[in-house]
Amino acid sequence: MEKLIVELNKKLNNKFTFLKIYDVEYNVAEKLCTFTLMYPENVGDISFNDRNLIYDFIKSYLNLNGKLVLKFKKSYLDNEFILKEVMLFLKNNYSSIFAYIKDENIKIENKNCYINTTLSFAKNIINCIDRAKFEIDIINYLSSKFCAEFSLEIKELPVVEYDGIIEKRLENVLEQNMVEKTPRYKVIDPVMLVGKEFYFEPEYIENIETEKLSVILAGKVANLNKKTFIKKGKVEKEKAYYTFLLNEGKSSISVVYFCPKVNETKMDKLAVGDSVIMMGDVKNGYNGSLTLYARSIALCEIPKDIYITKPKTVVKNLGYKVVEPEKILSLEQENLFAVGPVYNKHIYDNNFVVFDVETTGLDADICEIIEIGACKIENGKITQKFQTLVKPKRPISELITNLTGINNKMVFNAPIIEDVIKDFHYFCENTILVGYNVGFDIKFVQNAGKPEGCMFSNEIEDAMAIAREKLRLGNYKLKTVVKELNINLENAHRAYNDALATAKAFLKLNEIN
């Protein structure tokens, strides 16, 4: 699309060299193309006549058979805006080091649209990245967000201290390319109270030292309060939220739950002394202390012996061992004018792994996985493919071969599940897991992962449940749903084909019409 700006300036004597394409949306149903063009604040406002010149050129250049809407966005080179974008880039693209970066490690120098960004990293972190690629990626990212010239400088810090914790511990871990295995325990008889179902194995509160996403914690409720606030908008609404202390032995953490209206009756029954398990994000609260912002809460019974905290252990993770994911380069996804879907905020705020397994039977406790297929969704696009056959310990029956097309000869040289599950766990880091009737697939994956220390404690969503909510059909088999959504499903009952169809359906069901 940058070629369009080049051609625009050729046609109009380089009058608009400062323009950049910020966003393009195409609504197929309405045949409406919306262009957002960005320009630097020091240019001043673009005149009505100039806007008409640009409009006429784009309409002619694209030969659009439909409506064109042109929007102009002023690029404010505020240091705080740039800092936020840098942090967002690190979070989405370098999540393994994001947790160890603070605002003070980033310095922004603004010299009349020439922006120099200085990142100060510990030596061990620098050694874990491809420095040249990192610099190119971040400069390209910032250039797409602001009208300015960007440069990047990386400074080395020998030892960094975070909240009184010497970074030497991290240095030793990263230099050996190791990751920590989180100690967990099981609660007894969990019953969902509010939110979506999750994995009922919490980690220990005393081991929570920094901000962390999708954390599972358990304990007893204390200091419970119900409060309200006014949500501003076109119509002001009073919203409820609950605050309490979650006590786990001698350790505790503050909890906040912003409560939808439909859940207030259930939350009002929660009482001081109740044992609960919950999933949410640990962030710095208003008072500066770590706070769990809960999304899902269940009642449970907590074992009496869990307060003997297990020491942290480490396991080697040298990247992918037997299954290397493939990048998906889809012409359909890159062609903005052919697709143009707009998804809800949930899709853009999270990364997802949509997966499916083929197995030797229906019982997750005795049957085995013979194929895993999955695709990753990032920023509303399907970006990576994970697919492998798995060699089971027992022969595949003729019934399963007839159903899936997978026979014993095909899996003879396939990797074993103990190796595959580690790679799949690595592929699923920092994502929400999505499946079709996901309860079946997740049991197999979790059972395979437990002996290897791969807990799959991710948040989980069921595409079938979303289809039931949004579609009115005679049945909700995957074939029926994808047909209704005009999605092609070839060679059903092979893991990757089913996962890809589910991913497309999941995105379609989350479109904003």
| Structure confidence by residue, pLDDT tens digits, 8-42 | 888 888 888 878 787 777 777 777 888 888 887 66
- Is 249 among the domain residues? yes
Least confidently predicted of 104-118, 157-171, 188-202, 230-244: 157-171
**Predicted confidence (pLDDT) per residue in 252-280, tens digit:** 899 999 999 999 999 999 999 999 999 88
Per-residue pLDDT, 309: 46
Per-residue pLDDT, 318: 53
| Average per-residue pLDDT for the chain | 82
How far apart (Å, rounded) are the C-alpha atoms in residues 408 and 397?
9
Give the mean pLDDT of 156-173.
46
Residues whose CB is less than 8 angstroms from the CB of residue 384 and which lie 6 or more positions away in sequence, other chains included: 325, 326, 327, 328, 375, 376, 427
- Is 456 among the domain residues? yes
- Is 86 among the domain residues? no
Residues 303 and 229 in one domain: yes
Given a contact cutoff of 8 angstroms between Cβ atoms, the answer to whether 298 and 263 are in contact is no
* Phi/psi-derived region of residue 295, left when phi > 0, alpha when psi is between -120 and 50, beta in every other case: alpha
Residues 357 and 457 in one domain: yes
The CATH number covering residue 282 comes to: 2.40.50.140
* DSSP-derived secondary structure for 43-98: G-PPPHHHHHHHHHHHHHHHT-SSEEEEEEEEE---HHHHHHHHHHHHHHH-HHHH
Q: Which domain holds residue 335?
A: 326-509
Least confidently predicted of 63-72, 135-144, 272-281, 314-323: 314-323
Polymer length in residues for the chain: 513
Residues 377 and 462 in one domain: yes
- Is 493 among the domain residues? yes
- Is 181 among the domain residues? no
Bigger pLDDT: 148 vs 75: 148
Domain count, the chain: 4
The CATH number covering residue 161 comes to: 3.30.300
- Is 89 among the domain residues? no
Cβ neighbours, 10 Å, residue 155: 11
Residues 121 and 200 in one domain: no
- Is 93 among the domain residues? no
What kind and span of H or E run contains 310?
none
**Predicted confidence (pLDDT) per residue in 355-414, tens digit:** 999 999 998 888 999 999 999 999 899 999 999 999 999 999 999 999 899 999 999 999
Bigger pLDDT: 295 vs 136: 295
Q: Is the model's pLDDT at 313 over the cut of 70?
A: no
The CATH number covering residue 39 comes to: 3.30.300.20
How far apart (Å, rounded) are the C-alpha atoms in residues 108 and 116?
6
Give the residue numbers marked as catalytic. Answer: 493
The rounded percent of the chain whose pLDDT value lies above 70 is: 84
Residues 399 and 334 in one domain: yes
Position 124 confidence tier, pLDDT thresholds 50, 70, 90: low
Residues 290 and 340 in one domain: no
Q: Is the model's pLDDT at 331 over the cut of 50?
A: no
Residues whose CB is less than 8 angstroms from the CB of residue 216 and which lie 6 or more positions away in sequence, other chains included: 184, 198, 199, 200, 201, 202, 203, 277, 278, 279, 457
Give the mean pLDDT of 288-305.
88
Residues 338 and 467 in one domain: yes
- Is 340 among the domain residues? yes
Q: Is the model's pLDDT at 180 over the cut of 70?
A: no
Q: What residue type is assigned to position 319 of the chain?
A: G
Which of 149, 176, 203 finishes a domain?
Answer: 176
Residues 454 and 331 in one domain: yes
